[in-house]
Structure 1
Amino acid sequence: MNPITLAIVDDHKLFRQGLRHILGRVGYHEVIIEAGSGPELLTALEAQQPDVVLLDLHLPDMDGRAISQVLREQYPAVRIIILSMNYAPEFILELMRLGVHAYLPKDIDQKTLGEAIAQVHMQGFYIDATTAQVMRQGLQEPASPRLARKKLPGSVAPLELTEREREVLTLICKGLSSQQIADLLFISYRTVEGHRKNLLDKTGMSNAVSLALFAVKHQLIEME
């Protein structure tokens, strides 16, 4: 099994060193890039790309939002996890809409960080109960002009989901793969894929990340 390769981007060297030490204890990770700024990260990416970038939101020269935009355009296969002390809803919503794969507080515990990295690497997103609540509250409020963005697609009309579709949707939002869902619910892989397709069709979403955002926004699931 290959390790999950990581880049740590933060302007505080002590934080980078501490995070590297922690990651060596909570999972099978390999830090291949440390950078103190956006330009430093982008230069390093020309030589090698990690699986996941752990990115501070507030950086000198180029902030996390600008870096995320560049990464999504130039390195779409690289997953992005924002680590920030700023947990304001408008920042979470803006970054998720830009295409980051998770937004976590810097005081997250070691175990949860390891789980988030693994889930982002395998499934493409991580949303915990706190983030879901913040997102739900923020999505119900009109965006400020400064942070205005194109609205997420999909109908806001009440959806008619079967009990099984809701079960599958909840497990998708928890990051489980189709095979894991099939094993848990004692149904076939093909049946899960059918439910997944129906959920995408009903919501107008295109992938699991946008489906999870839609589910949180419209309170289709209960995040424990």
Structure 2
Amino acid sequence: MIKILIVDDHKLIRDGITSFLSDSSKYEITDEVSDGLEAINSIKQNAPDLIITDLNMPNMDGMELISFVKKEFPSIKIIVLSMVDETQYIRQVLKLGANGYLLKNSGIDEVKAAIDAVMKGNNYYGGDVMDAVMTQLTTGAKKKKVSRFDNAFSLTKREKEILKLIIEEYNNGEIAEKLFISIRTVDAHKRNMIEKTGSKNMAGLLVWAINNEVLNDK
């Protein structure tokens, strides 16, 4: 059973999440609280496996909570459930180490899919979140920023193709089939991109891609 802490300053949201997750024997709601400070106290008392949190809250907001939890309780998974779809916030959440990001218009099935994915060690980003990220990555900026990596290296055309497919949520097998290469080659390209960008994992690579607008290059 997955022990879940819900953090949101709107009781209606907390009650709604609790209601639909409580219908399944897979999930146990250990507590529901209204801000980050209350969440920290609850974590110490109830030791949840997963936190579902909003971003905009009084006293201690979601960003501060994520930062604290990832430092003090790194094994706890975190899914952000927010109305905020601006890529600057998504980027910050990824940098802080959150495992998933959903918008509050997500359906019940997607929330459950996100929970199951992050508890298996994967990251999960809702369809609307990925749409926002893709818009940021593929729409040419009016004034392109100069990447701090530009003089050190550039991603190859193939690496950019793979990165774009990763962002579009293709798995290794699908990428290999689409580009007519082996899964082993896909893995090698992923490792190369992570090493080139100084990222720690695929989430870090996504942050780098947003920051440097690599898919805007012609």
**TM-score with structure 2 setting the length:** 0.72
1:59-79 superposed Cα distances (whole Å, 9 cap, x missing partner): 222111221221122112222
Q: Check the 8 A contact 2:130/2:167 in 1, yes or no.
A: no
**Out of 152, 157, 170, which is 2:165 matched to?**
170
Aligned equivalent of 1:90: 88
Measure, in 2, the Cα distance between the counterparts of 1:193 and 1:6.
Answer: 33
Measure, in 2, the Cα distance between the counterparts of 1:98 and 1:107.
Answer: 23
> What secondary structure is seen at the aligned counterpart in 1 of 2:200?
coil
Aligned equivalent of 1:159: 155
Calculate the aligned-residue CA RMSD, in Å.
3.7
User: Identical aligned pairs, as a percentage?
Assistant: 28
Deviation, 1:49, is 2.7
Aligned equivalent of 1:104: 102
Partner AA of 1:120 in structure 2: V
Deviation, 1:8, is 0.5
Measure, in 2, the Cα distance between the counterparts of 1:137 and 1:168.
Answer: 14
Aligned equivalent of 2:202: 208
Q: Check the 8 A contact 2:162/2:186 in 1, yes or no.
A: no
Aligned equivalent of 1:149: none
Partner AA of 2:200 in structure 1: S
Measure, in 2, the Cα distance between the counterparts of 1:211 and 1:182.
Answer: 19
Aligned equivalent of 2:26: 28
> What secondary structure is seen at the aligned counterpart in 2 of 1:197?
helix
Q: Classify 1:207/1:128 alpha carbon distance in 2 versus 1 (closer, same or farther; 3 Å).
A: same
Measure, in 2, the Cα distance between the counterparts of 1:25 and 1:167.
Answer: 39
Deviation, 1:56, is 1.4
Q: Which runs of 5+ in 1 are unaligned?
A: 143-152
Partner AA of 1:174 in structure 2: E
Q: Classify 1:184/1:31 alpha carbon distance in 2 versus 1 (closer, same or farther; 3 Å).
A: farther
Q: Which runs of 5+ in 2 are unaligned?
A: none
Deviation, 1:116, is 1.9
Measure, in 2, the Cα distance between the counterparts of 1:123 and 1:131.
Answer: 19
1:179-222 superposed Cα distances (whole Å, 9 cap, x missing partner): xx4699599986665444233223332212112333554239xx
**TM-score with structure 1 setting the length:** 0.70
Measure, in 2, the Cα distance between the counterparts of 1:25 and 1:53.
Answer: 18
**Out of 44, 50, 53, which is 2:51 matched to?**
53
Q: Check the 8 A contact 1:53/1:79 in 2, yes or no.
A: yes
Which segment is superposed worse, 35-44 or 83-92? 83-92
